[in-house]
């Protein structure tokens, strides 16, 4: 009986902006060992991290303007990965340039603390 050395998994990833879970890549065992094949197969259906690109919904919002995402600093452990509250808002790009300056307009989205969100007057 031949043992399975291939090992394939369809995994999930999180949107880097809203953390919505989306379909990710297909992983394959490149070492062709039985133990590694089992490790890869165990990842099937699991979320393995953040996607490189935003999800389709966030892309759609960014096409309409500049996407703002509310974050809660009190729940954030890692400044590079703020805790998202689930609130999003799209503003005109001109307004974003006035608020953030041209240097911050590269990505088309920004994370704002609850305090900043409220100061700007967002719902």
SS3 of 107, please?
coil
| pTM reported for the whole predicted model | 0.80
- Which class for 65: exposed (0-12), middle (13-18), buried (19 or more C-beta within 10 A)? middle
Q: Same structural domain for residues 113 and 79?
A: yes
Same domain for 69 and 112, yes or no, is yes
> Which residue bears the tokens 């041209």?
102
72 and 32 within one domain: no
Question: Does 71 share its domain with 109?
Answer: yes
Residue 2 belongs to some domain of the structure: no
The answer to the question of residue 59 being in a domain is no
| Residues 70, 88 contacting (CB under 8 angstroms) | yes
Please tell me the distance from the alpha carbon of residue 32 to that of residue 35, in angstroms, as a whole number: 9
| Together in a domain, 26 and 72 | no
Q: Show pLDDT as tens, one digit a residue, over the chain (123 residues).
A: 668 888 999 999 999 999 999 999 999 998 989 999 999 999 999 999 999 999 999 999 999 999 999 999 999 999 889 999 999 999 998 888 888 877 666 578 999 999 999 998 888
Q: What pLDDT is attached to residue 106? A: 59
Which structural domain, as residue segments, surrounds residue 111?
A: 65-120
> From CA 115, how far away is CA 15, in angstroms rounded?
24
Q: Is residue 58 part of a domain?
A: no
């Amino acid at each position: 009986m031949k043992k399975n050395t291939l090992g394939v998994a369809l995994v999930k990833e999180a949107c880097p902006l809203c953390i919505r879970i989306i379909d990710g890549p297909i992983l394959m065992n490149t070492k062709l060992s039985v133990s590694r094949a089992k490790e890869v197969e165990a990842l099937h259906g699991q979320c393995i991290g953040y996607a490189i690109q935003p999800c389709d919904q966030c892309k759609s919002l960014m096409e309409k303007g500049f996407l703002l995402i509310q974050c809660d600093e009190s729940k954030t452990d890692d400044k590079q990965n703020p805790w998202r509250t689930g609130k999003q808002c799209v503003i005109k790009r001109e307004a974003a340039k006035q608020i953030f300056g041209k240097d911050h307009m590269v990505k088309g989205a920004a994370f704002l603390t609850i305090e900043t969100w409220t100061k700007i007057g967002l719902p």
